[in-house]
């Protein structure tokens, strides 16, 4: 099963619309799909508020026109399994209650016949599994040669169903594009926030996390939290407003006075709020965001002067000072083109 259109590489460019297709079988765990679906709805709203297109089109498909969820609620109006995908698609597979994923029902067999021929490709057709949804993907042959995780109760079952899959334990989620897998019910939200960050940018992902009142997490083996997502695990709306504005326009002429104006407080009180709730001073937070922007620019091939200007640093020297202040390692010049 192929997709005609490829996703654009630049997450800040005009976005194509992703179809996000949730496969719902009988007894599907409702939090596995409802939580991620709500996060995507919020991301669409955040993008619309910025005057941008809404990048996610949610679809719910099933071999059956209606099905009963894990909590006994009937979900109706489901689309039939599509014969093809006409635009970039995330296919989302979710778990079911119990310590074993039964795949011998008529609905499961129909789903496996639909899944098996799919040709996954980054930017075209990507697979997201939540909790035991990875086991269903394994039975369909979609995890051969991939790294993936699942709920700890299903790790052995996953390995048995996909011997050529590198099953990863003790992880919140695993990113092995075009396959993305998460460990359990709530970690599906972690995974979808990660994907929102990749498509919409980390500022939007942080905004969604704030709205959902969830912490931004990565797996214990993953790199350190992105500066765009760090210092955001608090509930202070004025600080989030300032952090959102800085993340969306880091090169703007920021100072304590105009930051405080956004928060409707004094510069001195803003500093106290940042330290108490975010664990960092406001100008240090600004420098961290600008440093992250400069690093991205350097890795994309910009020279040091261009990277400094794009990030909002007044000079190459100011960029280098921030580089060493935060212990980045090496030098900006060594990062160019990395």
pLDDT of the residue at 14: 57
Rounded (5°) CA angle 109-111-117: 105
Q: Which 3 state secondary structure label does DSSP give 306?
A: helix
Nearest partner of 87 among 172, 19, 177, 156, judged by Cα: 19
pLDDT of the residue at 337: 54
Rounded to an integer, what distance in angstroms lies between the CA atom of residue 312 and that of residue 150?
A: 42
Rounded to an integer, what distance in angstroms lies between the CA atom of residue 129 and that of residue 182?
A: 6
- Name the segment(s) of the chain with CATH classification 1.10.10.60: 237-335
Return all residues near 287 (Cβ < 8 A) that are at least 6 apart: 322, 325, 326
Kindly state the tokens that stand for 330.
């090496």
For 288-299, what is each residue's pLDDT tens digit? 999 988 988 888
pLDDT of the residue at 280: 94
- The CATH code belonging to domain 18-212 is 3.40.50.880
293: which DSSP letter?
H
pLDDT tens by residue, the chain, 338 residues: 444 333 333 444 456 799 999 999 999 999 999 999 999 999 999 999 989 999 999 999 999 999 999 999 999 999 999 999 999 999 999 999 988 998 999 999 999 999 999 999 999 999 999 999 999 999 999 999 999 999 989 999 999 999 999 999 878 899 999 999 998 878 899 999 999 989 998 788 888 887 887 766 554 444 445 677 788 877 788 998 899 899 889 999 999 999 999 999 999 999 999 999 999 999 999 999 999 889 888 887 889 999 999 999 999 999 999 998 887 777 888 776 54
Return all residues near 224 (Cβ < 8 A) that are at least 6 apart: none
58: which DSSP letter?
E
| Buried residues in 22-61 as b, exposed as e (16+ CB within 10 A) | bbbbbbbbbbbbbbbbbbbebbbebbeeeeeebbbebbbb
Helix segments in the chain, DSSP class H: 30-49, 106-115, 133-139, 155-161, 187-200, 202-212, 237-248, 256-263, 267-273, 282-299, 304-311, 316-325, 332-335
Rounded to an integer, what distance in angstroms lies between the CA atom of residue 284 and that of residue 310?
A: 18
Nearest partner of 135 among 106, 98, 85, 171, judged by Cα: 98
What is the residue whose two structure tokens read 């209650």?
97
In contact, 105 and 39? CB cutoff 8 Å: no
Kindly state the tokens that stand for 252.
């703007």
Rounded to an integer, what distance in angstroms lies between the CA atom of residue 209 and that of residue 189?
A: 9
| The dihedral sign for the CA sequence 190, 196, 202, 207 | negative
- Name the segment(s) of the chain with CATH classification 3.40.50.880: 18-212
Q: Which CATH class is domain 237-335?
A: mainly alpha
Rounded to an integer, what distance in angstroms lies between the CA atom of residue 189 and that of residue 308?
A: 34
- Measuring CA to CA, how many Å separate 149 from each of 8, 90, 139, 202, 232? 27, 18, 14, 24, 26
pLDDT of the residue at 42: 96
pLDDT of the residue at 170: 77
């Amino acid at each position: 099963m192929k997709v005609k259109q490829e996703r654009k590489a630049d997450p800040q460019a005009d976005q194509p619309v992703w179809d996000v297709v949730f496969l719902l079988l009988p007894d599907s765990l409702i939090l596995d799909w409802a939580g991620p679906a709500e996060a995507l709805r919020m991301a669409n709203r955040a993008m619309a508020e910025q005057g941008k297109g809404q990048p996610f089109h949610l679809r719910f498909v099933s071999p059956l026109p209606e099905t009963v969820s894990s909590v006994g609620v009937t979900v109706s109006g489901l689309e039939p399994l599509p014969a093809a995908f006409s635009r970039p698609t995330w296919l989302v597979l979710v778990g079911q209650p119990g310590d074993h994923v039964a795949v011998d029902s008529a609905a499961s067999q129909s789903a496996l016949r639909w899944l098996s021929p799919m040709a996954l490709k980054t930017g075209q057709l990507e697979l997201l599994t939540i909790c035991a949804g990875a086991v269903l993907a394994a039975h369909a042959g979609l995890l051969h040669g991939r790294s993936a995780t699942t709920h700890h109760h299903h790790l052995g079952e996953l390995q048995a169903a996909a011997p050529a899959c590198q099953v990863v334990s003790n992880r919140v989620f695993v990113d092995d594009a075009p396959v993305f897998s998460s460990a359990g019910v709530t970690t599906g939200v972690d995974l979808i926030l990660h994907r929102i960050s990749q498509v919409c940018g980390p500022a939007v992902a942080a905004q969604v996390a704030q709205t959902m009142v969830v912490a931004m997490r990565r797996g214990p083996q993953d790199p350190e939290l992105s500066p765009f997502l760090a210092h955001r695990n608090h509930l202070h709306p004025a600080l989030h407003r300032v952090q959102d504005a800085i993340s969306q326009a880091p090169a703007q002429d920021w100072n304590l006075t105009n930051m405080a104006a956004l928060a409707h407080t004094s510069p001195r009180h803003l500093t106290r709020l940042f330290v108490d709730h975010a664990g960092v001073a406001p100008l240090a937070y600004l420098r961290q965001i600008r440093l992250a922007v400069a690093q991205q620019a350097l890795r994309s091939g910009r020279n040091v002067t261009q990277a400094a200007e794009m990030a909002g640093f007044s000079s190459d020297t100011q960029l280098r000072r921030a580089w060493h202040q935060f212990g980045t390692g090496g030098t900006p010049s060594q990062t160019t083109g990395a």
